[in-house]
Amino acid sequence: MKILFIRFSSIGDIVLTTPVVRCTRQKYPDAEIHYCTKIQYSSLLTHNPNINKVHYLYDDLDALIDLLKAEKYDYIIDLHHNIRTLKVKRSLKTQHYSFPKLNLQKWLLTNFKVDMMPDKSIVERYFEAVKPLNVQNDTRGLDFFIPEGSKLRSSDVPMSHWNGFVGCVIGGSYETKKLPIEQWKKLIAQIPYPVMLLGGPEDQGMGWHIADDDRVKIYNSCGKFSLVESGELVSLAKVIVSNDTGLMHVATAFQKPVISFWGNTSPEMGMFPYYGSNNLKERIAPQSVIMENAVRCHPCSKIGYKRCPKGHFDCMKGLDMDKAAAEVVRLWNKSK
């Protein structure tokens, strides 16, 4: 049996597909499992032992389709479900399955605040795509693999942080998914532990603005490490505080306590921190604290904007940093 999984982007979404791949491997240990994604996300998949081969989308979708045709798959599992994956499936002309994307329900939630979303993680919706193959969720949660050769050295982390730190993921794919600098400053000032700022090169400037308050307590790692190395830093943290972004899901792969901030997006869309079986109402994860500000316009988008459409950004500016700091202390003490 030869199976192709497709998820072109992005970091968090790809990490959220890993339980489906793992459980398919468990069900069909002799199957040849391939995965197709964008080239910039290669490090998320190349070290996954459940995948035999990874195919990459550069810029030319037609060239990729020609390569995939030669593989002669038995099944395609579409975990992206967009126009490009539709073209791939039509071109390969083989049996394919996809997951319920629920675009209508998301539209109702963001435009009319009518919540018709199911109370479950998108991971469990992904599993609906492999239901015809009799693959079931093992509830072990997400995977993130760190290759042996990329292990961090002790010198990569300041000595002040060796006994533990709070990881603060300050980045986000859109500005309206990012906690403002002043809110981060207020929060970190109340955290009585070493803090490491996590993010990509695009977050480095913001990181220095935050770290200027205390260069000993606050270490700005943004832009200094690769994605895999940043994942390892997440694994070393005692508590993760994060916007709705990729490293938040990497943190749950390591079963880390997560305090998550929600601006224009909403956890009701299914992208909340997922540990293997939790939802938002019936099976709440004890290691997850979700922080939302119930303003009338929240949520306003399933993706995000460059700036708040209303101009006030109260969904993020109104979050209670005193409460967030208290939750950091509580989760830190539980992690001892």
At 252-261, the pLDDT tens digits run 999 999 999 9
DSSP symbols for 58-105: -S-HHHHHHHHHTT--SEEEESS-SHHHHHHHHHHTSEEEE----HHH
Average pLDDT over residues 1-25: 98
pTM (two decimals): 0.97
What gap in Å lies between CA 296 and CA 278, rounded to an integer?
A: 27
Dihedrals phi, psi of 57, to nearest 5 degrees: -95, 120
**CATH number, domain 150-334:** 3.40.50.2000
Helix (H) / strand (E) containing 331: helix 321-334
What gap in Å lies between CA 284 and CA 80, rounded to an integer?
A: 26
Residue range 19-74, pLDDT digits in tens = 999 999 999 999 999 999 999 999 999 999 999 999 999 999 999 999 999 999 99
What gap in Å lies between CA 73 and CA 233, rounded to an integer?
A: 37
User: What does the pLDDT read at residue 285?
Assistant: 97
Strand, helix or coil at 289? strand
Going by C-beta distance under 8 Å and a sequence separation of 6 or more, which residues neighbour residue 104? none
CA 292 to chain centre: 18
Class of domain 2-133: alpha beta
Q: Does the structure show a pLDDT above 90 at 156?
A: no
User: What does the pLDDT read at residue 177?
Assistant: 97
Portions of the chain given CATH number 3.40.50.2000: 2-133, 150-334
Beta strand ranges found along 42-91 (DSSP E) = 53-57, 75-78
DSSP structure class, residue 13: H
What gap in Å lies between CA 127 and CA 132, rounded to an integer?
A: 10
Residue range 274-333, pLDDT digits in tens = 999 999 999 999 999 999 999 999 999 999 999 999 999 999 999 999 999 999 999 999
On whether the CB atoms of residues 277 and 119 are closer than 8 A, the answer is no
What gap in Å lies between CA 271 and CA 286, rounded to an integer?
A: 17
Helix (H) / strand (E) containing 260: strand 258-262
What are 91's two structure tokens?
Answer: 């071109």
On whether the CB atoms of residues 225 and 204 are closer than 8 A, the answer is no
On whether the CB atoms of residues 110 and 301 are closer than 8 A, the answer is yes
